[in-house]
Structure 1
Amino acid sequence: MAEYEMQESNLPNEDGKRVLFPRMRLWGQADLDKIVDKISYASSFTPGDIKGLVKALADEMACQMASGRSVKIDGIGVFSPSLALRDGYERESGEPGAPKRNAMSIWLNNVNFRADKELIENTGRRCILERSKWKFRHSSQVFSPQERLKMAQDFLCSNPFMRVADYCRLTGLLSDKAARELKQWSEEPESGIGCKGRGSHKIYVKR
């Protein structure tokens, strides 16, 4: 059973009135160990077998994407490498005679994911929703700052970096407040969170 709540959009509708949209309440994150335990219990595979296969799959996906290919896993989705300029380099203007960026100024900063229709449909078939008993509140009131910090720390333990959008999904914060709070965490060494990049390319990493 999953719960949803109606959350207010950042932008009003054409009449200037507030718009509410359904949002699933997330109660944490299932890590690899949890998924491995579930699969192992329901099959003849050992946890070591499953973890080894996942690691081999992740390594081969990285090799394929590093060679300039997207990776399609039937039933899961398509993974595509994404590039960005390194810090300190300006974008090409395209004007005649203007400086051009070479490979040293570009890095692979992300992997984009597009879910397979089968995964979406499979999730939808299993999803039974009920309205949350919590009365709608702004997301910043649902979790305390320390609870949100712990969420970010846990996320970075199993992911190489975090974007503002990731933090929004984890905590329910709106993007402006999420960006400000992540910036605050990155400026406090004891938080264990640092940052790289700038502007729309800024990411947050484990110190």
Structure 2
Amino acid sequence: MAILFDWYENPKTSEQQGEENMLHPRLRLNGKVSTAQLRARIQKYCTLTETDVIAVLDALSHAMGEELAEGRQVHLDGIGFFRPNLVSTEPVTEKTKRKNTKVRLKGIVYRPDRLLMDEVGKVKVQRTRFSFHSSKLTDEEIDALLTEFFTTHDFVQRKSFQLLCSMTQSTASRHLHRLCEEGKLKNVGLPKQPVYKPINGYYAVNE
């Protein structure tokens, strides 16, 4: 099966406005393989039983966790390199007090081994038949959709706005942020669970 992808426009800086749009390919996953499925396949490639594979994977997870917690890079032959990645919990300057307490683990960085890249080999790619792009609506068209939406709704959430405008999650979030900055919407919910209501004078809805 080929790797599915589609073309997306690169974001433009203010200096690039007016220039020809550049595109980049973005992969669309063909599905997900579970640990149980991998265990069954590993068993076919070696003499280990599936129970043995479970034990090895569990031990590998613990051993890698211990080494990564010590700040070491872990290399698995044929798989790749793993190392911890840090991030500050807040903006830090030279004058910040107790700087060492404002660092946490951000995640684990992975770099594939050359052997794994060779195992994947030369891939076959195919453009997906279905478009997952956001609709290219103008600000005026978005306002019109919201005006109609608020005739039957008191508020809008990111998911419903995303469906209303046929946008991706990131594009919908970006437009909601813009509408709040323009004073058309305000978040009356929580920062991580926003609920947006129109501000008086917009979308023919009075609070």
Which residues of 2 match residues 146-161 of structure 1 at below 5 A? none
Query: Is the deviation greater in 71-80 or in 20-29?
Result: 20-29
Find the aligned partners of 2:11 and 2:190 in 1 and give their Cα distance. 22
Structure 1, residues 171-200: CA drift from partner, whole Å, max 9, x if none?
A: x9474547899x999528xxxxxxxxxxxx
- Equivalent position of 2:112 in the other structure: 115
List alignment gaps of at least 5 residues for structure 2.
136-158, 161-166, 177-188, 195-207
- Equivalent position of 2:125 in the other structure: 129
1:173/1:116 Cα in 2 relative to 1: closer, same or farther (>3 Å)? farther
Deviation at 1:52, TM superposition (A): 1.3
Q: Give the match's secondary structure for 2:99.
A: coil
- Equivalent position of 1:101 in the other structure: 99
List alignment gaps of at least 5 residues for structure 1.
147-171, 189-207
Which residues of 2 match residues 47-62 of structure 1 at below 5 A? 47-62=50-65
Deviation at 1:116, TM superposition (A): 1.8
Q: Give the match's secondary structure for 2:121.
A: helix
Percent sequence identity over aligned pairs: 25
Q: Give the match's secondary structure for 2:64.
A: helix
Letter aligned with residue 111 of structure 1 = I
Partner residue of 1:84 out of 68, 71, 87? 87
Q: Give the match's secondary structure for 1:38.
A: helix
Structure ID, larger Rg: 2
Matched, 1:69 2:72: yes
Find the aligned partners of 1:132 and 1:63 in 2 and give their Cα distance. 41
The two structures have a TM-score, normalised by structure 1, of 0.58
